[in-house]
Amino acid sequence: MADLTLTAKNPTSVKADALVVGTCSTSDGLAVVADQLPQDLVRQLETLAPQLGLTGAPDEVRRLPAGPGVQAGVLVLTGLGERQADGTFGAETLRRAAGAALRGLAGTASAVVALPTADEDDLAAVAEGALLGAYAFTRYRAGEAAAKAAPVRSVEIATPFARSARAKAVVERAQVLADAVHGTRDLVNTAPNDLYPATFADAARSAVKELGAKGVKVTVLDEKQLASGGYGGILAVGQGSARPPRLVKLSYTPSKPATRVALVGKGITFDTGGISLKPPAGMPAMTSDMSGAAAVLHTVLAAARLGLPVAVTGYLCLAENMPGGNAQRPGDVITMKGGKTVEVTNTDAEGRLVMGDGLVAAVEEGHDVVLDIATLTGAQVVALGNRVSGVLGTDEVRDAVKAAADAVGEQFWPMPMPEELKANLKSKVADMVNSASDRAGGMLFAAVFLKEFVGSTPWAHLDIAGPAYNEKGAFGYTPAGGTGVGVRTLLGFLEAAGAR
């Protein structure tokens, strides 16, 4: 990850490969948002904006020669869009502008960022955006290709708050947050022949040590322990693979915790659909079907590194859904942890089976609130698209997740769980089916299924099927591939829970 520092110096005097400043859209065209740039340069840029095609729109990033009076070699203009009514820019606008600029500077050694910071909250947004944008997954690249993709190594943010104690705190938090998002992205981007249940469990153990997440205890259940513990859902999904399933439990318990929160993550390390095979065109992205478990892992570690006054237990429900000779079949009846039986009507509705086991385990341990996060349904993408996640569950918890998402800049939308959908759970031979015959409202039905495993415990379900994996072009601080979505929302939820 990039090394981030603060400076109170005039950014034009800082030696770096690039100087990042903001531009915004106005009724007259474009304005450069950089008081400390030479005024002649500002006037020239604003005058030439139409010829250069500059509008100041979000995600517009342009590199130009810096010119005299600027020590950096390149001037980077990053769009902020329009000012708010009070003349400032919102936190997510700053976060996205910083991220887009740093993402566009891949292969560059150093950059100084001079975006407007009216207070330390603005500084936090700029720091987060810069660090989130300075990311690349180069594990499978070598030589020149890896060098060109490498993120900026050194980032200096110019701000009048460089010496304040709170500024130091927000930068430290931004670094922990970015570590968590990057770690999640790395796992999602790792090829499924390298990341399967056993190696995912190993990665969890290693991450605890490498990140210095003190006080986190890791427990791994293998297939024999899952069988003796009654984890029928995880075992059924994983039985078609030569690589058996795992359940990883991570526990962080501070002294005198304000509350106890469980996080349950779906970890299907590759999803073929099982015997209910997916179409080939949709399969390559299924390397991302463990995004929820990756987010849970790194959220727990971030909570520990920040010393949050909340006890957090993460459950990573890990399996590979393959159509092997021993794979579960449509028509099989499985007994879930806790004793409920499920008729499997679609082996591609496997995520809810592993999550049901994880939710029962979390509830049995008596947490005050349970959140689960999963790339659960294609119906989420149909309903909300590729950038907005769904959140369902107990009203109070669902609303708290939405508030946390709004505060950190992630897009979640509350969805209902209509009572009439319970009728679709009915099975002729078991307590319930795992997939309804009526495809309408598939995201809602999946949540109704999961609710059967949480009882009266306050709970919310986060469906991140579309936003977890960006198959299109990068934007803002979001790269192509694994996005790390959900980590910031989960961490924001935990911070708010600790503050109550």
Q: Which residues are catalytic?
A: 278, 352
Query: Element (H or E) spanning 437, and its range?
Result: none
**485 SS3 class:** coil
181: number of Cβ within 10 Å: 28
Rounded Cα distance, 119 and 60, in Å: 24
Is 165 in contact with 12 (CB distance < 8 Å)? no
Is 100 in contact with 477 (CB distance < 8 Å)? yes
End-to-end distance of the chain based on CA atoms, in angstroms? 32
Rg (CA), the chain: 24
Write out the two tokens for 375. Answer: 């790339």
Rounded Cα distance, 489 and 403, in Å: 9
For 322-434, strand residue ranges (E) read: 333-335, 341-343, 369-374, 389-393, 412-414, 432-433
Cα 381 to the chain's mean position, in Å? 16
Is 64 in contact with 77 (CB distance < 8 Å)? yes
Enumerate residues 6+ apart whose C-beta is below 8 A from 228: none
Is 319 in contact with 350 (CB distance < 8 Å)? yes
H-assigned helices in 269-373: 291-306, 351-364
Rounded Cα distance, 485 and 149, in Å: 21
Cα 416 to the chain's mean position, in Å? 23
What are the b/e assignments for 237-260, b being 16+ CB within 10 Å? bbbbbebbbbbbbbbbebeebbeb
423: number of Cβ within 10 Å: 10
Give ∠ CA 399-363-445 in degrees, rounded to 5. Answer: 55
461 - beta bridge partners?
372, 392
Rounded Cα distance, 266 and 293, in Å: 5
